Structure 1
Amino acid sequence: MKHASLVLSIGLALMLTACGKTNPMLEQHPDYIGNWQSSTDTLKIEKNGQVTYKHNEHQDQKTPESEVSLTEHSDIKAAITQFDDNSFEIGQGELGKSFKVDHAPYKENGQWKMQVNGQVYTKK
């Protein structure tokens, strides 16, 4: 029993240590780390490389003959699998998402902004 507790304690200590480290892919790009918001998306990039992406878009289309309501929702939480100056990817395959960096993080009027996949995000 003591052996199992010791192994569990060591495992927890290693996990907590790993959570505090910056992902090697983000070490050269620390400005990306944080909570970002656009008009339809939220993008949370953690220093350990975990990314949470949420997309919510609602559109109403009315014509004389019909009324259509469209809702698009995505919710992805995955690790960064690729990162460079032009793009980054999270997850893999159909369970992943690619982000094209149109404009790397920059300061504008005292606020951090970046443009990804054609959308401007502001750091919160």
Structure 2
Amino acid sequence: MFNRLAIPALITTLAVAPVVVSCSSNKVPLSTQQQMYAGKWVASDGTFVNIYLDGGGDFKTSNSEVTGGTATITDKTLKIGLGPIKKEFKITQPPQEQNGKFTMQLDGITYTNNQSSATNPVSSSSVSEVKSTTTEEKSQAAKEIESKIIQSWGQNFGGQLDSLNCPSEFEIKADNSINCQASVENIPFQMKVNFQDNEGSFNWEAKGLLVLAKVEDKVVEVFRQSYGAKTQADCSTSRNQKYRPSIAQDTFECKASDGGQNTTTVKITVQDDEGSFQLSPIS
């Protein structure tokens, strides 16, 4: 539990080595052979690994958790890490389909992928497929893209987008991309759709939007050692606020507490439009 003497020591440590969280670390996109690993894989005890097509990864075990890390896959191992927190899994069984579900074994534990999508705080590495060959069909393809993004957003973030508008005409081609305009909680932001091949498979990423739940998760992670298992964080400025614009050099405050009277105010400095931020306690 914090006392007045313990707080300055923690502030000094975090001020010298602030925590930076970014969705754009040194990731290597999955190869064609590795793409079968993409998605969220959940074990029977609720632990999971989440692997993205862009090379990102998350994991949660009984004693550690990483969100927004980097995934490295070899023939025998899966490694997911962010800074000093890393986890290496032994691949005892690669992904395979069983009874209509995809399973794999890591360290002898069976993980199941119940859906084909894998998302990070404001991006989706899920590959959806849209086919079109003519201008009229491409207009329909735009509607299909919007529908798939809206569905994915609801499944992974809860709630609905206020609006989403994608261009009607575009070329479906590998490595091509289009920019859709979206908004949520009256915050406008850009949704970039990246085509994976010439058949219409795509993933998407949001720019200009910060997910407050992910910021709160990082604040809790930083303060858990001092505040214990009951550590809480609140970064909202109004009731039910879930997002805020991701604008470089924008600052706002979060409250970290032990669930009681011990509280620390944390300054969040936004680094860019991709959701990166810096954290430093100020009281």
Q: TM-score, normalised by structure 1?
A: 0.61
Separation of aligned partners in 2, 1:36 and 1:101: 13
- 1:112 alignment partner in structure 2: 102
The residue correspondences of 1:67-82 to structure 2 (distance < 5 A) are: 73-77=63-67, 78-80=69-71, 82=72
Q: Distance in 2 between matches of 1:107 and 1:85?
A: 18
Q: Any conservation in 2 of the 1:113–1:123 contact (CA below 8 Å)?
A: yes
For 2:90, the equivalent position in structure 1 comes to 100
Unaligned regions of 5+ residues in structure 2, if any? 1-23, 115-283
Number of the residue aligned with 1:43? 49
**Helix, strand or coil at the partner of 1:29:** helix
Paired amino acid for 2:37: Y
Deviation at 1:93, TM superposition (A): 7.5
Given that 1:88 and 1:100 are in contact with CA atoms closer than 8 Å, whether structure 2 keeps it comes out as: yes
- TM-score (norm. length: structure 2): 0.28
Count of residue correspondences: 87
Q: Give the aligned partner of residue 10 of structure 1.
A: none
Q: What is the deviation of 1:94?
A: 4.2
Matches of 2:87 and 2:110, distance apart in 1: 17
Q: CA deviation at 1:100?
A: 0.6
- Larger RCO (CA under 8 A, 6+ residues apart): 1
CA distance in 2, matches of 1:121, 1:92: 22
Q: Flag the structure with larger Rg.
A: 2
Aligned-residue CA RMSD in angstroms?
A: 2.3
- Per the alignment, residue 122 of structure 1 pairs with 112
Identity between Structure 1 and Structure 2 (%): 29
Extract unaligned runs of 5+ from structure 1: 1-17, 57-72
Deviation per CA, 1:39-61: give whole Å up to 9, x if none: 231111111111110124xxxxx
Larger strand fraction of residues: 1
What is the correspondence of 1:1-80 to structure 2 with a 5 Å cutoff?
23-40=28-45, 41-56=47-62, 73-77=63-67, 78-80=69-71
